[in-house]
Amino acid sequence: MNSLTDLRRTLDRHADDVADPATIARTTAVHHRIAVVRRRRRAAGAGVLSLALLAGVAGLAIPRLGDHEVLPAGPVVLGEQAPGSIRSLGYAFDATGQSQVIRGSGKIRLGESDTPRLLSWTLSDATTARFTLPGPEVHRTTVTHFGDFLYVPAGEPGPILVSAPGGSVGIATYAVSDRVTPPGYTRDGVTYRSTVAGTSLLTARIADGTSDVSSSYVAPDGPVQVRVLCTSLPRGYVVNVSLNGQGRVSSGGAPCDSDGTFDPGASGYVQLRQGRPGERVVVRAWVSRSMRDASAVPASELSDARIGVGVYGPVDQVRLGGYQVPRTIEAEGRTWTLGDLDQGRPGDVLGFAATAADRMATAAWRSTGRSTIDVRVDGDVTSSGESASGGQAAMPGIWVPGGSRMRVTMPRGSGAFGAALYNRVD
Amino acid sequence: MSSIEVVDTGGRVDPGASATFDEFVAARSRALLRTAYLLTHDHALAEDLLQTSLAKAWFAWRRIDGEPEPYVRRILVNTYASWWRRKWNGEQPTDTLPDAGHPDRADATEPTDLWTAMERLPRRMRAVVVLRYFEDLTEVQTADLLGCSVGTVKSQTSKALAKLRIDPALASDQPSQAEGKGDPR
């Protein structure tokens, strides 16, 4: 027969036998598990609605190092140590361990991913490298020693053509890490960043198991952009947005697919009119069964759904072709500011000379009746926009590689059009 | 002109909250690992259990009111009880034979092999023993942590002690009153 003293002694003795050599390693391991849970939740059906025309255009971010950050090791490529992590718009992209050496020319194939990835490189015996993403989107670079990165959007990117005339290029791959959370409003791993494309986060809210979320903010002196997040909505359901109960805008029935809970502050937005500066404004986002039906569905119909809303402002804009475009944008994992712009009428040719650096372009127009806009980069039409019955529209995200000229025309329609070129900031 | 106003408190606005969680992991995970090891009797499973519990706690970190350790300990014990059925009880084929294992050095010195006897206890019963006689929780605290009645804790304790060949009459020993650290609630 034993005693309770024996039992306690046995428990204490075995507890003392537990060695715990590495709490830092445990912290890292726990965060890895958290990341896995997040990804699983996202994969269950997440998506950000594209509410307006300017999808993918958004802001400036402030990176923040975690207090207990353990940087991963980067691979050694072409005899050179690649960085373990790269920062982009406040997010950390950690080395995946995958690397590839391309001698002369070749292809890189990345698998499908619901978050963006970065490629960084070093050159050997070559002075330039060229990356061509499907589109095509050509990136020429003279940077080496992993001094720059190429942004690969989420999804299935397709083959990336790489060439390094007369030499080799060694490439390391980076994926989004959960080690670092950008400043902002975060819930269950999803962050509305505090600053996006030069605008400030005025308010945000993400909620689970509800069909209706509201929040409020003080109206700034300038327009605001409302960016909505949704996951796991039943097919056909839409998200509606209003400010102070007015100006309802529906999502247009975009499905909540598995892409896009990453960085909802950089998703598509809707720009709404609001009250006077200093007034309190209530923003509401709610789910209805269709665009015609504005009534919120019962929360019980949305067992796994998540909706969120973030408001950014004030937006510093400039008039372009009868349209308002922001002075600062985010694209390719970077921030860009307005450089050159030009405007014209149908029949005009807006020409932009080449520069050494890569640029991003936006074309915009305001027309009556059917109209088309063509954007040519080095003579090839790379983007073409059309309005069936007139109105205002914009085409953002046009890639203009360094060394390339751009021409914009309005071959059809009446009204005004314009184009703006943005220069890289970071 | 612009200001940040956050209405919702469910989310994590201040990224510094992550640092608080990390500090907790650094400061308290060894103590939790000891409990996990006493529950699982396996170093690898103990680490697995602890990391799983900490990851679960992370998602609720902002909602924890007061000291997080009791909350995390509750997750740990309940995860242990539920995961045994779901995960650890399954047979997993491997390419290589697992190590035969080595007895803990303490085994040889223990009266009537209590450590081995504990391995034969049902999981929930083992949890009761660890909470009562290692964590020194009261019956009320143990019941609260396990989400069961005090009567269940009493009966589980009595049965466990009987299986460990300890006089069940001793089961009424209340650590909180006689020698325990916690106050009865």
- Of A137-146, A281-290, B20-29, the poorest mean pLDDT is in B20-29
* Chain A residues inside the 8 Å CB shell of B110: 6, 9-10, 13
| B11-86+111-171 has CATH 2.60.40.1260 classification | no
* Nearest CB partner across the interface for A200, out of B4, B43, B110: B4
B55 vs A33: CB contact, 8 Å cut-off?
yes
Does A217 sit within 8 Å of B1, measured CB to CB?
A: no
Paired sense of beta strands A390-400 and A328-331, if any? unpaired
Res B91: pLDDT: 31
Tell me what the mean pLDDT of segment B106-135 comes to. 79
Choosing among B4, B20, B35, B165, which should be mutated to test the A contact, i.e. which has the most A CBs within 10 A? B4
The chain-wide mean pLDDT, for chain B, equals 68
Q: Which residue of B has its CA nearest to A6?
A: B111
CB contact under 8 Å between B11 and A185, yes or no, is: yes
Shortest CA distance from A205: residue in chain B: B8
Distance from CA of B113 to the nearest CA of A (A): 9
Q: Which of B23, B55, B104 is the closest to A14 by Cβ?
A: B104
3-class SS of residue B39: helix
Provide, as residue numbers in chain A, all residues whose Cβ is less than 8 Å from the Cβ of B55: 30, 33-34, 37
Residue matched to tokens 């790269």: A86
Cα separation, A286 vs A210, whole angstroms? 9
> pLDDT value at position B175?
45
Radius of gyration over alpha carbons of chain B, in Å? Answer: 19
Q: What is the pLDDT of residue A25?
A: 65
User: In terms of CA atoms, which chain A residue is nearest residue B26?
Assistant: A23
On whether the CB atoms of residues A182 and A58 are closer than 8 A, the answer is: no
Contact A23 B29 (CB under 8 A): yes
CA distance A358 to A399: 8
Q: Does the beta-carbon distance from B26 to A30 stay under 8 Å?
A: no
Mutation choice for B interface testing from A1, A4, A17 by most B CBs within 10 A: A4
pLDDT bucket at B110, cuts 50 / 70 / 90: low
Per-residue pLDDT, averaged over A198-223, amounts to: 89
Mutate to test the interface with B, among A3, A27, A39, A177 (most CBs of B within 10 A): A27
CA distance B118 to chain A (A): 10
How many interface pairs between A and B have CB atoms less than 8 angstroms apart? Answer: 178
Handedness of CA A271, A273, A278, A282 (dihedral sign): negative
Contact B158/A at CB under 8 A: no
Instruction: Note the ipTM here.
Output: 0.72
Asked if A333 and A182 count as a contact pair (C-beta separation under 8 A), the reply is no
A81-90, A155-164, B52-61: range with highest mean pLDDT: A81-90
Q: What pLDDT digit, counting tens, does each position of B125-167 carry? A: 999 999 999 988 999 989 988 888 999 999 999 989 988 877 5
Name the more confident of A262 and A349: A349
Q: Mean per-residue pLDDT for A53-59? A: 26
What average pLDDT does this structure show over B171-184? 39
- Domain ranges in chain B are 11-86+111-171
Cβ–Cβ below 8 Å for A4 and B18: no
Q: Which residues of A touch B108 (CB under 8 A)?
A: none
Contact call for A68 and B12, based on CB within 8 A: no
Residue with token string 């975690």: A66
CB A108 within 8 A of CB A159: yes
* Digit-coded pLDDT (tens) for A113-124: 878 899 999 999
CB A245 within 8 A of CB A41: no
Q: Do A6 and B111 touch (CB under 8 A)?
A: yes
* Residue B99: pLDDT over 60: no
Res A5: pLDDT: 87
Give me the mean pLDDT over the A284-301 stretch. Answer: 84
pLDDT category at A23 given cuts 50, 70, 90 is low
pLDDT of B57:
86
pLDDT exceeds cutoff 80 at A39: no
Assigned token pair, A351:
């020409």
Position with higher pLDDT, A137 vs B32: B32
- Split at pLDDT 50, 70, 90, the class of A148 is very high
Place A40 in a pLDDT band, splitting at 50, 70 and 90: low
Tell me which residues of chain B, numbers 85 to 114, contact chain A at a CB-CB cutoff of 8 Å: 104-106, 109-112, 114
Stretch 8-27 of chain B: residues touching chain A, C-beta under 8 Å: 8, 10-13, 15, 18-19, 22-23, 25-26
Model pTM score:
0.58
Query: Is the CB of B43 inside 8 Å of chain A's CB atoms?
Result: yes
Q: Tell which wins on pLDDT, A355 or A236.
A: A355
pLDDT at B11: 29
> Residue A185: which of B5, B155, B98 has the closest Cα?
B5
For A42-113, where are the E strands, in sequence order? 46-47, 76-77, 80-81, 85-88, 91-108
Taking only the tens place, the pLDDT of each residue in B47-86 is: 888 888 888 888 778 777 778 888 899 889 888 876 644 3
The reported pLDDT for the residue numbered B15 is: 36
**Position A370, amino acid:** R
| Cα A312-A315-A316 angle, rounded to 5 deg | 155
Q: State yes or no: pLDDT of A338 exceeds 90.
A: yes
The pLDDT value given to residue B104: 41
B119–chain A Cβ distance below 8 A for any pair: no
Beta strands in A194-245 (DSSP E): 195-196, 199-208, 212-218, 224-231, 238-243
DSSP codes of every residue in B114-145: HHHHHHTS-HHHHHHHHHHHTS---HHHHHHH
DSSP per-residue letters across B23-40: HHHHHHHHHHHHHHHHHH
Contact between B167 and A182 using a beta-carbon 8 Å cutoff: no
Mean local confidence (pLDDT), A339-365: 93
Residue found under tokens 């309190």: A280
Q: Does the pLDDT at position B93 exceed 60? A: no
CB contact (8 A) between residue B3 and residue A218: yes
The CA-based angle A303-A306-A310, given to 5 degrees, is: 155
Give pLDDT, residue A41. 57
A372 and A413 Cβ atoms separated by less than 8 Å: yes
| Closest chain B CA to residue A32 | B55
Cα–Cα distance between A138 and A141 in angstroms, integer?
10
- Joined together, the tokens standing for residue B8 give 């919702």
Beta-carbon separation of B106 and A17 below 8 A = yes
Task: Give the residue-averaged pLDDT of A62-72.
Answer: 43
Across the interface, whether the CB atoms of A220 and B52 are under 8 A apart is answered: no
Nearest chain B alpha carbon to A221: B1
Using pLDDT thresholds of 50, 70 and 90, give the confidence band for residue B13. Answer: very low
Contact across the interface for B38 and A34, Cβ inside 8 Å: no
Please tell me the predicted confidence (pLDDT) of residue A250: 64
pLDDT at position A199: 92
Cβ of A7 within 8 Å of Cβ of B46? The answer is no
Query: What is the band of B108 on the pLDDT scale with cuts at 50, 70, 90?
Result: very low
Residue type, B73: R
Test A18 with B54 for CB contact under 8 angstroms.
Answer: no
**Residues recorded for chain B:** 185
Of A85-94, A183-192, A348-357, B18-27, which gets the smallest average pLDDT?
A: B18-27
- Across chain A, what does the average pLDDT equal? 81
Residue B178 has pLDDT above 50, yes or no: no
pLDDT, tens digit, 9 for 90 and up, residues A164-200: 999 999 999 999 988 888 999 988 788 999 999 999 9
Cβ atoms of A244 and A29 within 8 Å: the answer is no
CA distance A243 to chain B (A): 16
- Compute the distance between CA of residue A76 and CA of residue A99 in angstroms, rounded to an integer: 8
Least confident span in A132-136, A158-162, B5-9, B104-108: B5-9
- Segment A419-423 mean pLDDT: 96
Q: Say what the pLDDT of residue A56 is.
A: 27
